[in-house]
Amino acid sequence: MKKITLLLLVILSFNTSYSQFWKKKKNKKTEVIASIENKKEEKIKDYNTVITKEAKTTSGLFKVHKVTDKYYFEIPNNLLNREMLLVSKFTKVPEGLGGGYVNAGSEMNSQMIIWDRFEDKLLIKVKSANSIANDSLPINISVKANNNDVTLYAFDINAFSKDSTAIVIDVTKFFSTDVKAISGLSPRIRDTYKVKNLDENRSFINYIKAFPLNIEVLQDFTYNASKPSILENTETISVQMSQSLILLPENPMRPRIFDSRIGWFTLNKYDYSSSELKSDKKTYIRRWRLEPKDPEAYAKGELVEPIKPIIYYLDPATPEKLRPYIKKGVEEWQKAFEVAGFKNAIIAKDPPTKEEDPDFSPEDIRYSVIRYVASTTRNAIGPSISDPRTGEIIESDIIWYHNHLRSYRNRYLLETGAANPSARTLHTSDEEMGEMMQMVIAHEVGHALGFPHNMSASCAYNVEDYRKPGFTKLNGISASIMDYARFNYIAQPGDSNVRFIRQMGPYDSYAVNWGYRIIPNTSTPEQEVPTLDQWILEKVGDPKYEFGKQSSSFNPYSQTEDISNNAIKASNYGITNLKIVAKNLPDWTSKETNNYEDLEELYGELLSVWSRYIGHVVTYVGGVNEIEKKPNQEGNIYTVIPKDKQKEATKWLIENAFSEQRWLVDSSILNKFTPDGYSQKLLNYQRRHLNNLISVERMGRLLDAEFINPANYTTLELLSDVRNGIWKINTTTKGNSISERNIQKAHLDRLISIYNDDMTSYSFNVSLSDIKSLVYGELLQLKIDLSNIKKRTPHKETKYHILECINNIERTIDNN
């Protein structure tokens, strides 16, 4: 009994101890949980302790607070998960960054983002708009799962607004550290200049401002870099960046479906709602949202002003004398928009004064600006920012580089000086320079309206029409301002009153109408397609309304910098004019300035102009005409250039490019600024075109054409024509000239290079094609030709030249 009693006492004692142990442990766990909760509560503080009385606040899209050296966003709950654009631009750059094509105003990144809350954090997530599906369909679940948003940054929630309708976060670190997605320095730039890291001690936020639809951030970033673009000993790159955060429309614009027969910048989407057996690729055009103020009057065909016109402001840095021409360049498009039913659709304005708009800033994404950039770069560009959901263009900045007009002055002199007396000077009139600038601005605005280059527009006109005053004044020199057709280089001396400078054309109005006209009685993009298709079919067969892609390197009717529908005749006219200009170049340059700088510059550019004329003709050989068509149209999209045209082009090239061009090597010009390099300067251009003519890709197209139709111009015919044209060995005592021997060596070098090529870097299997066989045959035939005449050539230089060439052929064949 005593044992049992003792045992019960031990058990009771153990239970009591065990109970006390777990009670203590439970209390400790509760304390830990309470401690964590208290820390959370400490982390999310009272509003007044974060946004103190010292806060400087601006209100707009949402509130921005600056408290001492920290910046806070106060984001309303109703903006969570609303789609916004985060646009990163340079506002200041060091000289030479990006090779001179990165400048103040350059957009470096544009991302669609949302603010998303997760527990006690607020996340910036980058969204992709490429894949879509109807919200009501089950497939939408998979689309979201397989296109997960990227978390760009996670912010701790610092506080809630006093009424708990907004979240307060500290954004200082996000905008003052090296967040690569918004830094502006691409991986290529970082690699080129050996960027090590951001120096946070030399980097800071200038300001963050709130506007009604956007938030603007201005940052100064300084990076440690081993090889900066300028001032290498500083090992420093300093840039100024702006970040624009803009709310995208809650009601997205209805997109318009792209048609490849008319040129537009586009965006692609993959619609998984399709009932087809694959995702449906949809391509939409990029355009501004223009809606008529009076829809009823618009529907009746009356001209109506848009609710929100396209407005471009001039950069405050724009020189006063250039402002009228820039404005005219913007408003050149007003007539085109009138064809689409809109009056005053696009307007240019001077920059507002401080009194008119104290908050005006070219970096503010609410403003589209013609940026005037102090840079030695000779260029102008017309980028734009668009809604990735619909293609709606929201803002654009046209970039004009200060030195660009010099390029136009030089080309005006070189390309038109023979027939145009007013171009024969370095001091072109302000009126003419202004008109050139006006048309360049119109071209760049065209890009910003959604239009890419239309390189076939100048082929709408016959070559002889460029010599007619009435035709050129009415039609200009191209059917579109979007072609690279800058000057009338065809007009000859004695052709009076012709137009030399480009202008807007009929294609421009046609394209604006197609993309911007409101189509009645439609509610979806698909319902618009029959009308859009009909508008194109109405113009089929008229070259003024055809579109030619810039990327068509094989199409002689869609080339950059050419004019007319016959590049061979046009280049003939152009070279005839260049020969006159070359003779007069010293009189038109150095005699005006009493130095040789302009003469040297213009001589170099004269060679480039000649080279362009040659290149236009090369494209005929192995050329294929491309005209976009739909199945309801007759004919093929691709048509091989006729054999006789290709043979004509090859013969022309032998005479105008690969024979001695003594007029291009004028010692009275060259000996004014260089002691040597005369023959090599010309050979470099000749060799470039010869290598292009006898290129593997070109020969591949010729083989394809022969495969389809043996009557087409063949690769063997091309190789034979070039060999016979270049190797006209002079067996007289005079022999061959240095220039002739140079181009012959270049031709042989090209054949040997192709024969020795491993042929693995091309778009087709070259080793199993005829190309190497044909080149091998050409080397053998050339050896036979040279062997037959080597004993008959009394000219020593020519004989040694032939002997060396034979030796090179034998060594090449023996080694293979």
pLDDT digits (tens, 9 = 90+) for 164-173: 999 999 999 9
Higher pLDDT: 92 or 417? It is 417
Residue 403 resides in a domain: yes
- pLDDT at position 144: 53
- Residue 527 makes CB contacts below 8 A (sequence gap 6+) with 519
Alpha helix locations (H) across 381-524?
A: 404-416, 430-449, 469-475, 506-516
> Do 380 and 295 belong together in one domain?
yes
CA 504/CA 453 separation, integer angstroms: 13
| 3 state DSSP class of 683 | helix
- pLDDT tens digits, one per residue of 622-640: 999 999 999 989 899 999 9
pLDDT at 115 over 50: yes
Higher pLDDT: 2 or 233? It is 233
> Do 17 and 55 belong together in one domain?
no
Task: Give the structural domain span for 121.
Answer: 49-247
Q: Which pLDDT band, with edges at 50, 70 and 90, does 52 fall under?
A: very high
pLDDT at 390 over 90: yes
Domain limit, last residue, from 387, 408, 429: 408
**pLDDT, mean of residues 43-53:** 92
Higher pLDDT: 394 or 791? It is 394
CA 315/CA 310 separation, integer angstroms: 16
> Do 82 and 37 belong together in one domain?
no
> Do 101 and 158 belong together in one domain?
yes
3-state helix, strand, coil in the chain (%, to 5): 45, 20, 40
Least confident of 133-137, 342-346, 413-417, 439-443: 133-137
CA 411/CA 447 separation, integer angstroms: 23
- pLDDT at position 8: 47
**pLDDT, mean of residues 385-396:** 92
Higher pLDDT: 708 or 138? It is 708
CA 775/CA 769 separation, integer angstroms: 11
pLDDT at 582 over 90: yes
**pLDDT, mean of residues 596-618:** 95
> Do 23 and 98 belong together in one domain?
no
Counting residues of the chain whose pLDDT is more than 90, the rounded percentage is 66
Residue 297 resides in a domain: yes
- Strand locations in 516-659 (E): 624-626, 638-640
- pLDDT at position 12: 46
Higher pLDDT: 508 or 180? It is 508
pLDDT at 495 over 70: yes
Decide if 283 contacts 525 (C-beta within 8 A): no
> Do 78 and 102 belong together in one domain?
yes
pLDDT at 260 over 50: yes
DSSP 106: -
Determine phi and psi for 158, rounding to 5 degrees.
-85, -35
Mean pLDDT taken over the chain = 88
Least confident of 34-38, 216-220, 274-278, 600-604: 34-38
Domain limit, last residue, from 391, 408, 425: 408
Determine phi and psi for 482, rounding to 5 degrees.
-85, 0
Q: How many CB atoms lie within 10 A of CB 69?
A: 9
Q: Which pLDDT band, with edges at 50, 70 and 90, does 674 fall under?
A: confident
Least confident of 33-42, 186-195, 295-304, 323-332: 33-42
Highest mean pLDDT among 98-107, 272-281, 767-776: 767-776
pLDDT at 196 over 80: yes
- pLDDT at position 275: 61
What CA dihedral angle connects 127, 129, 134 and 136, to 10 degrees?
Answer: 0
Number of domains in the chain: 3
CA 437/CA 422 separation, integer angstroms: 17
- pLDDT tens digits, one per residue of 733-757: 778 889 999 999 999 999 999 998 8
Decide if 111 contacts 126 (C-beta within 8 A): yes
Residue 444 resides in a domain: no
> Do 182 and 35 belong together in one domain?
no
Least confident of 3-7, 278-282, 568-572: 3-7
Residue 357 resides in a domain: yes
- pLDDT at position 148: 67
> Do 230 and 274 belong together in one domain?
no
Residue 786 resides in a domain: no
**pLDDT, mean of residues 316-328:** 92
**pLDDT, mean of residues 139-156:** 70
**pLDDT, mean of residues 410-438:** 95
pLDDT at 816 over 50: yes
| 3 state DSSP class of 781 | helix
Greatest alpha-carbon span in the chain: 144
User: In terms of DSSP bridges, do strands 638-640 and 624-626 run parallel, antiparallel, or are they unpaired?
Assistant: antiparallel
- pLDDT tens digits, one per residue of 713-732: 999 999 999 999 999 877 67
Residue 209 resides in a domain: yes
- pLDDT at position 211: 87
Domain limit, last residue, from 377, 393, 408: 408
> Do 110 and 56 belong together in one domain?
yes
Dihedral (CA of 656, 658, 664, 666) sign: negative
> Do 209 and 303 belong together in one domain?
no
CA 739/CA 745 separation, integer angstroms: 10
- pLDDT at position 49: 93
Higher pLDDT: 1 or 501? It is 501
Q: Which pLDDT band, with edges at 50, 70 and 90, does 13 fall under?
A: low
User: In terms of DSSP bridges, do strands 131-132 and 266-271 run parallel, antiparallel, or are they unpaired?
Assistant: parallel
- pLDDT at position 14: 44
Residue 612 resides in a domain: no
Highest mean pLDDT among 275-289, 441-455, 588-602, 789-803: 441-455
> Do 243 and 337 belong together in one domain?
no
DSSP bridge partners of 75: 167
> Do 178 and 274 belong together in one domain?
no
Cα separations in angstroms, 812 against 754, 759, 761, 769, 808:
11, 16, 21, 20, 6
- pLDDT at position 118: 93
pLDDT at 24 over 60: no
pLDDT at 7 over 50: no
Higher pLDDT: 366 or 114? It is 114
| 3 state DSSP class of 84 | strand
**pLDDT, mean of residues 326-340:** 97
What's the whole-model pTM score?
0.87
Residue 196 resides in a domain: yes
- pLDDT at position 331: 97
The three-state (H, E, C) secondary structure of 500-552, written as one string: CECCCCHHHHHHHHHHHCCCCCCCCHHHHHHHHHHHHHCCCCCHHHCCCCCCC
DSSP bridge partners of 223: 198, 237
- pLDDT tens digits, one per residue of 66-110: 999 999 999 999 999 999 999 998 888 888 787 766 776 677 888
